[in-house]
Structure 1
Amino acid sequence: MSKSEIVVIESQHEHVLFTLEEVCERCDIHVDIIVEMIEYGIVEPVEPIEQSTESIWYFNSHALVRLQRAQRLMNGLELNLSGVALSLELMDEIEELQQRIAILSRQLP
């Protein structure tokens, strides 16, 4: 039996929020791993919403996409969480530099 994958498409609708439980279900990942990823700075919840005595974490679609990238790095390259954090940071820097290059290229005659 093959494992099915849930694909999250990044959208401009950042107002869609997912609870920690929904993220675990959608990404097929245990709560403890997500908490560790938060500690490593791999993913960040949006501001927690206080309800009674406990706070509930919410995540936007960008966080789900980032979690899926982290999972691919962990599974495909067998990286630990610190390696995943570093890889994602470098990938973010590359993406930012590519965007800057594109902007500068459009400014050239």
Structure 2
Amino acid sequence: MNETRVLQGILLDEEARLSLAELSQACRTSADWVIALVDEGILEPEGGDLAHWRFSGVCLRRAQSVRRFQRDLGVNLAGAALALELLDELTELQVRLMWYETRGR
């Protein structure tokens, strides 16, 4: 069966900064959920206080990953933080391995 799906999203460059409301909207969630991500150390906003917080494109990707972990796997925030940490470490190791492989040739 052929199914037509319309995709909707936000295209951001790495330099874009989102407010708390914009990040919440992009993740289709509440500001309280985003604040919980900050409290858990998953996201690190720029700006001193909540009203001045700005989030990078990296924060958007991390928040979207957490949403998928929770939706698909039932992971709590502490588990999501650990999963993201392990994925970051894996990515770093893959980059190092590629560097060593290309350097050795």
State the TM-score, normalizing by the size of structure 2. Answer: 0.84
Alpha-carbon RMSD: 2.1
Structure 2, gaps ≥5 residues long: 1-5
**Counterparts of 1:59 and 1:94, CA distance in 2:** 23
Shift in alpha-carbon separation, 1:86–1:8, aligned structure 2, 3 A: farther
- The Cα of 1:43 is off from its aligned counterpart by 1.1
1:10 touches 1:65 (CA, 8 Å); kept in 2? no
Unaligned runs of 5+ in 1: none
Aligned residue for 1:43?
43
Structure 1 residue 84 corresponds to structure 2 residue 68: no
Q: Which TM-score applies when normalising by structure 1?
A: 0.81
Are 1:65 and 2:61 matched, yes or no?
yes
Alignment length (residue pairs): 100
Identity %: 30
* Stretches of 4+ aligned residues off by more than 6 angstroms: none
Please state how far the C-alpha of 1:38 moved relative to its aligned partner.
Answer: 0.6
Query: In the alignment, which residue of structure 2 is the partner of 1:24?
Result: 24
Higher percent of residues as helix: 2
Distance 2:7 2:80 in 1: 20
Query: How far is the alpha carbon of 1:7 from its aligned partner?
Result: 4.0
Structure number with the higher strand fraction is 1
Q: Which amino acid aligns with 1:18?
A: L
